[in-house]
A and B are shown apart, each in its own frame.
Chain A
Amino acid sequence: MNGSLRGQALSDIAHLRARHPAVFEIDPARRAFNIAAVVAMAALAAFAFWRLEFSFIRLGSGLAQIANIVSLMFPPSPGTQLMTFIRALGETLSIALLGTLTAAILAFPVGFLAAKNVVPNIFAHFAVRRVLDTVRGVDVLIWALIFINVVGLGPFAGILAIAASDFGAFGKLFSEAIESADREPMEGIVSTGGSKLHALRFGLIPQVFPVIASQVLYYFESNTRSATIIGIVGAGGIGLHLTEQIRVLEWDKVSFLVLMILLTVVAIDWISTRLRLAIIGRATLAS
């Protein structure tokens, strides 16, 4: 039946066009815009290929090289360095944990400063926000390089780099959580004879804490990824070994390290999702 319906429609296409002009009509302006956009994008891409010196010869030889590398990656094996790698992985997790916590502790008071309802002075909170934006705009790898200059090579520089780059993000997120908190629970507590401290403890903290805790957990999750790469510039963790093994072309160790990173990231994602759900769920029960 389908085929015959389609056949009928196709054989009758001229009459269909005549009977339903609105369906077949094409908006010329819209079409011209679409074509112009695609042509402009293709032209820019062609310029970029030329400017960045893409060549099919290099692409071909590189792909052959990659096929060769991938074949050398199997089977993945840690060689004799299994314990070193595991310790480096632990270091990576430590960097992520301590970096995230440091950032959260430092950003907590700043979040109050950047919140409109706490600091009504528009210039003060505008200035704090712009500083936070700038801190956030610098990539974590750049922070890592800078902190290596300050405290030397090693995981400590990594912790500070993660703390610095998350400080900007947390400051903004915390201030938004504080701004959107509901005043009424605090007023209710004061009206039943609670002190100002009681109002903060039982009125504000229960609202703000789950939001903040779940954001901190989320960042811990994404920082495990960041912490695996900051070793590339020398700031500790498993990235250091990854770079080293790539430099000396030990491809079976490289694939083992990549597998370790993948498994850790997946495991941390899973744990932190469970924890986040538990925290948020408990908060909805309590309220």
Chain B
Amino acid sequence: MPGAVVRLPPEQIARALAAYSGAVAAKRLRTGFGFAVLFVAIGAASISGEVDPAKFAANIHRFPNYILSLVPTLTWANLSGDLAEWFWDLKSWTRLLVDTLLIAYLGTLLGFIGGFALCFSAAANLEKRGFVRIAARRLLEFCRTVPEIVFALLFVVAFGLGAMPGVLALAIHTMGALGKLFSEVVENIDMKPVEGVTSAGAHRFAILRFAVLPQVMSNFVSYALLRFEINVRSAAVMGFVGAGGIGADLMVAIRKFFYSDVSAILVLIIATVMVIDLLTERLRHALIGMEQRS
């Protein structure tokens, strides 16, 4: 029923239309400006990033070839023999993978201890002294902003080649990341138990033990497990700079074009990462379930 629509007076329509087209024009201008900035940035980045489309077009066929070379020759008739040949060095790779997992574990554990020690000083509700809080926060920020592989590079010079620099680098980075998350958890606790325990005359240690920890511990453990997953991935590449684990073998295999070795090690790493993800997810759900039961 078009007749039922109330027609506005013409001058009101004109005003509304002008306002509408003005708003649309402003929005278009803003979007256009955004895209212009983006295109200028892309142009500048292509120059500084040495992007050469001709070179890319000439070499792009190599990428599928490379991926195809990674696929090992597996025949149905001699499957076990081919598999054995593909994973010819399985024993030492397994040992290196175990090392990688242990590096991730120790790094997470030491980082957890460090983050745990610092998080209460970085939380605004428990640490009233501003300078202590700021110092703790800046320290954690520094630890998590510097990439772990940079710490590993430095520590390899200081401690020598091996797993130790890798563990320490992961521990420092984990401390920064977990310390921040932990302090956020602590800032969100219910303050009533803290006040209750304080009013009964408890010292700082007793306050933390009986009023804070019961509220935060399950979150802490859950974050630590998530961090362990991330650290397993990082530990796998620590060997690139000589800081232990399976990375050194992988790098040699890639650099020397040992195609089947590359794919074998990659398959092992991806499988390990998937298994660890699955296990920690199970563990986290079990912990949450236990928390809800009690």
Kindly state the separation between the CA atoms of A110 and B203 in the bound complex, as whole angstroms.
58
Question: Is B158 positioned at the interface, with any CB of A under 8 Å from its CB?
Answer: yes
Residues of chain B within 8 A of A118, CB atoms compared = none
Question: Is A137 positioned at the interface, with any CB of B under 8 Å from its CB?
Answer: yes
Interface contact A134-B270, CB-CB below 8 Å = yes
Interface contact A53-B164, CB-CB below 8 Å = yes
Stretch touching chain A among B13-21, B75-83, B100-108, B178-186: B100-108
Kindly state the separation between the CA atoms of A243 and B244 in the bound complex, as whole angstroms.
17
Stretch touching chain B among A119-127, A144-152, A178-186, A191-199: A144-152
Complex: chain A residue closest to B30, CB-CB: A282
Question: Is B29 positioned at the interface, with any CB of A under 8 Å from its CB?
Answer: no
Residues of chain B within 8 A of A243, CB atoms compared = 153, 241
Residues of chain B within 8 A of A261, CB atoms compared = 146, 150
Residues of chain A within 8 A of B202, CB atoms compared = 6
Distance in angstroms from B268 CB to nearest chain A CB is: 12
Interface contact B164-A262, CB-CB below 8 Å = no
Question: Is B255 positioned at the interface, with any CB of A under 8 Å from its CB?
Answer: yes
Given A95-B49, A145-B254, A228-B147: A246 touches B109 (CB 8 Å cut-off): no
Question: Is B33 positioned at the interface, with any CB of A under 8 Å from its CB?
Answer: no
A contact face: mostly helix, strand, loop, or mixed:
helix
Kindly state the separation between the CA atoms of A59 and B110 in the bound complex, as whole angstroms.
15
Interface string of B280-294 (1 = CB under 8 A from A): 000000000000001
Question: Is B251 positioned at the interface, with any CB of A under 8 Å from its CB?
Answer: yes
Chain A positions within 8 Å of B, measured between CB atoms, are 2-3, 5-6, 9, 30, 41, 44-45, 47-49, 51-54, 58-59, 62-63, 65-66, 69, 87, 90-91, 93-95, 97-98, 101, 133-134, 137-139, 141-142, 145-146, 149-151, 154-156, 158-159, 225, 228-229, 232-233, 236, 242-243, 246, 249, 254, 258, 261-262, 265-266
Chain B positions within 8 Å of A, measured between CB atoms, are 41-42, 44-46, 48-52, 55-56, 59, 62-63, 66, 98-99, 102-103, 105-106, 109, 142, 145-147, 149-150, 153-155, 157-160, 162-164, 167, 199-202, 233-234, 236-237, 240-241, 244, 250-251, 254-255, 257, 262, 266, 269-270, 273-274, 294
What are 29 A-B residue pairs whose CB atoms fall within 8 Å in the complex?
A2-B199, A6-B200, A48-B105, A48-B106, A49-B106, A51-B102, A52-B103, A54-B164, A62-B160, A65-B157, A65-B158, A69-B157, A87-B48, A98-B49, A134-B270, A138-B266, A142-B237, A145-B240, A145-B250, A146-B262, A149-B66, A149-B254, A150-B63, A151-B59, A151-B62, A156-B52, A232-B149, A246-B154, A258-B146
